[in-house]
A and B are shown apart, each in its own frame.
Chain A
């Protein structure tokens, strides 16, 4: 029996040889590949050991890493919690999610190529490598005012500096507490994440100002229609336009009604200026069909509709349908049909008008600071497009001032400051309620701040005053006031 036992030991040797090969393949040959996998939590955790950069609003850190006693060494905290949740995002065991934590992860974690020199010098000086900090463009007063005025209602608010594109406020409701996701207790994090992504929670993780299910813009999109119409030269603010209670549309028995189904002026006619002020649908439907789909769509594109923007978070592109027949065009001209926008896009409409027709590229990070707070990189304002000529911009400004002074936007009036604005009441599937919009800027003669506000299903669908004006106006007013306060 000894010969087969010897042969058996040869089999044993073969079995173990296969194990030596398999372990070598895993731990040596393919190790790099396995370590680089995005779902490799060990790789993620090793980044916990490095102090992540701060996210700063003025002198206040809205995201910072604090040292801990546990094995992770650093805990990511968000001192202002839900107020800046959609700007900061969160940094969890499952990776950086939403907001700047994700969009600027390589800078915050210190692994960016821009910090390569820094890392090398850290190596020599023995300093612990830390992530870079981000200084934001946010004006905390405007941000606070927007949160307070929205008062927990579902919706979004954005403010821009029209001349630079700096984002001054970015609020999305409902919000969430990023601290709940950044903790080191995996069970709690899991529970919090499950709760936030449950159906009942209504997508608090989505930043409604730049993404999610886009909104129909309603009458705020009349800024685009008006801009296109004025740019043709065929119409001026004084032009007479048809303004029946319901505009007859070709190809369909359904007409385009005004909100409240009232005519916009005596004998079913009105002026361009008045039509804009009271948000007359039939007049704008008529304008849209008269100028044609191409002119309308091109004007929208000049306001950056359809552009892929990064602020640096990815902004879902707003859209105007590529194919529009006449009735669809008429409806699109008043911001209905399949026109879909982000609140940021709507703010850019106002900002473009305010900045003499030039749309600036919106951005959130003013500068990148190294760990000792010296400036590594500063964002320069960048022109995105020339939406309209300065002359047309001036005409639009006057018309938008009229909205706040005489028309549907009266709730946004500010004493001693001329405010330009436009209301919107966007029909949704809900019969009674509509999304309440307001966008505008102030002061009209020297614009400092442009805003857009939407409250989901916040207004009554039967009246522009009770819709965008009454609901969105006061929020916009609060933000504008906060932005103008020195």
Chain B
């Protein structure tokens, strides 16, 4: 774990700037495209929205030059591009539903983006070294589990569309699971760095797998029970899968033991199987997943079917931005934003978006490999994998790879909590990456003292 890869010491800030200009350009072009396609004119809101977006991006970039000059140059542009494309689609749906800029969701999304970027910038400022977080391992753990279970508190949690993953605070509603994802990754990283030796060495070999000792099974069982609890009580397969998957993946990275993955998958499969036997809401989801177009399923919900028909309408090349009817699907701007893109940008556009995510996650995993400390490695790997898993759960849900759940697509989907959480996640990745790519003082380099006349005798 002491491996230090040869990371180029080039800062890459100029690459980042070029890519950011490119990203903002694409977003502006798409925004104008929507306006022309829907209203036949360049949208008057372009100046306001464009300036807002440009200012956020510019400030972020300057802060990067100042506070994280060695960070990976691809992460920020990709997140910016995805955030911007989401904004374009949300604005496009505002237009389709006859909402002007003031009452529409796009402006709110822009304000949330600004707030989220602000939070990320603040995180870069406050958190000068990600290892500080390790001090708060157990606090993060307690906070994370509390967030996860918060929707179950009577009076605070709200059940929406069959899932209880929201809390309402006055006029705001919030998905605490989004934040829990990050806090728990911090906890897992800190905890596993401490316990990895015990979890990775002891055990017996059976059938080629080194099985852990029974007493070491504690943590994975707790995580499993929690995720099953989320599945059953909050009725949300997505969050449940996300947390358990995140834990198992980080456990595997920390211990390098395949048996943990096998045990984890087995436990999860059993949990799902039992939940499907016992709970009608799980059965309904499974019916909608396997038999989307049956009369019975359509009577329950035709949302998935509508999304699929939207994607089919897009075909290979899409209808073009502003020329399709993504507004025919419910939640086209949040949970179903991927079908909206599929319809208007086509399979080609959807592939491009998915590849952007792949790139972002790949940069995150590369950061993990490059990180010099175990905590940083685990955290970066966990955060990146949580992003990947969330993309898989959302896109897999709307394309019938797995049952549909109520998670949002990172950066693209409309929603404040999602933006806040994912921009914070990006800030953490940038911080770790900055640390990983920062050149180490070369021990072989002549120290200024070497040129002195007086020789210092080495005492080691």
Alpha-carbon separation in the docked complex, A191 to B58 (Å): 50
Chain B contacts for A25, CB-based, 8 A = 399
Q: Does B69 contact A (CB under 8 A)?
A: no
Contact of B312 among A3, A9, A30 (CB under 8 A): A30
Given contacts A1-B374, A8-B381, are A35 and B312 in contact (CB under 8 A)?
yes
Tell me if A2 is interfacial: C-beta within 8 Å of chain B.
Answer: yes
Interface assignment of A42: CB less than 8 Å from any CB of chain B: yes
How far, in angstroms, from A71 to B92 measured CA to CA in the complex? 13
Complex Cα gap A11–B253 (Å): 12
Contact indicator per residue, chain A 40-52, by CB within 8 Å of chain B (1) or not (0):
1111010000000
Min CB distance B248 to A, Å, is 11
Nearest CB in chain B: distance from A142 CB, A: 43
Q: Is the CB of A35 within 8 A of B396?
A: no
Residue of B nearest to A7 (CB): B252
Residue of B at shortest CB range from A40? B309
- A26 → chain B, closest Cβ, in Å? 5
Interface size, chain A (Cβ < 8 Å): 37
**Bound complex: CA A394 to CA B309 (Å):** 62
The answer on a CB contact under 8 Å between B347 and A8 is no
- Does A322 sit at the interface, judged by CB under 8 A? no
Which A residues between 1 and 18 are near B, CB-CB below 8 angstroms? Answer: 1-6, 8-9, 11-13, 15-16, 18
Residue A308 lies at the interface, judged by CB distance under 8 Å to chain B = no
Interface assignment of B314: CB less than 8 Å from any CB of chain A:
yes
Most B CB atoms within 10 A — which of A13, A22, A42, A45? A42
Kindly specify which of B77-85, B385-393, B447-455 makes contact with the partner chain. Answer: B385-393
Residue of A nearest to B38 (CB): A71
Complex: A3 Cα to B79 Cα, angstroms: 27
A interface footprint on B428-459 (CB within 8 Å = 1, 0 otherwise) = 00000000000000000000000000000000
A379 at the interface (CB under 8 A from B): no
Q: Are A12 and B368 in contact (CB under 8 A)?
A: no
A22-B399, A26-B399 given; A34·B347 CB < 8 A: no
Whether a CB of chain A sits under 8 angstroms from the CB of B256 is yes
Is B22 interfacial (CB-CB < 8 Å)? no
Contact call B358/A16, Cβ cutoff below 8 A: yes
Would you call A12 and B361 a contact (CB within 8 A)? yes
Q: How far is the CB of B388 from chain A (nearest CB, A)?
A: 4
Q: How many residues of B are in contact with the other chain, CB < 8 A?
A: 55
Min CB–CB distance A29 → chain B (angstroms): 10
The residues of A that contact B358 with a CB separation of less than 8 Å are: 12-13, 16
Q: Among A16, A33, A37, A43, which residue has the most Cβ atoms of chain B within 10 A?
A: A16
The segment from B128-136, B215-223, B225-233, B349-357 found at the interface with A is: B349-357
Residue from the list B253, B254, B401 in contact with A19, Cβ < 8 A: B401
Query: B350 touching A27 by the CB < 8 A rule?
Result: yes
Q: Does B395 contact A (CB under 8 A)?
A: yes
Residue ID in chain A nearest B314 by CB atoms? A27
Q: A3, A6, A13, A27: which contacts B315 (Cβ < 8 A)?
A: A27
| CB 8 Å contact bits of A262-278 with B (1 = contact, 0 = none) | 00000000000000000
Contact A4–B253 (Cβ < 8 Å):
yes
Nearest CB on A from B115, distance (A): 29
* Residues from 434 to 460 in A contacting B, C-beta threshold 8 Å: none
**Interface flags, B315-327, vs A, CB<8A=1, else 0:** 1100000001100
Report the minimal beta-carbon distance from B322 to chain A, rounded to whole angstroms: 10
B5, B298, B388, most chain A CB atoms within 10 A: B388
Are A27 and B342 CB-contacts (below 8 A) given A5-B369, A8-B381? yes
Judge whether B346 is part of the interface by a CB distance below 8 angstroms: yes
Check if A23 sits within 8 Å of B399, measured CB to CB: yes
Q: Is A24 interfacial (CB-CB < 8 Å)?
A: yes
List A contacts of B361 (CB < 8 A). Answer: 9, 12
5 CB-based A-B contacts, threshold 8 Å: A19-B399, A23-B395, A26-B308, A27-B315, A45-B325
* B contacts, CB < 8 Å to A: 1, 3, 5, 38, 96, 249, 252-254, 256, 293, 298, 302, 305-306, 308-316, 324-325, 328, 342, 346-347, 350-351, 354, 357-358, 361-362, 365, 368-369, 374, 377-378, 381, 384-385, 388-389, 391-392, 395-396, 399-401
Besides the contacts A19-B396, A23-B395, what 9 more A-B pairs have beta carbons closer than 8 Å?
A1-B377, A18-B396, A18-B401, A24-B347, A26-B342, A27-B347, A31-B312, A35-B313, A39-B298
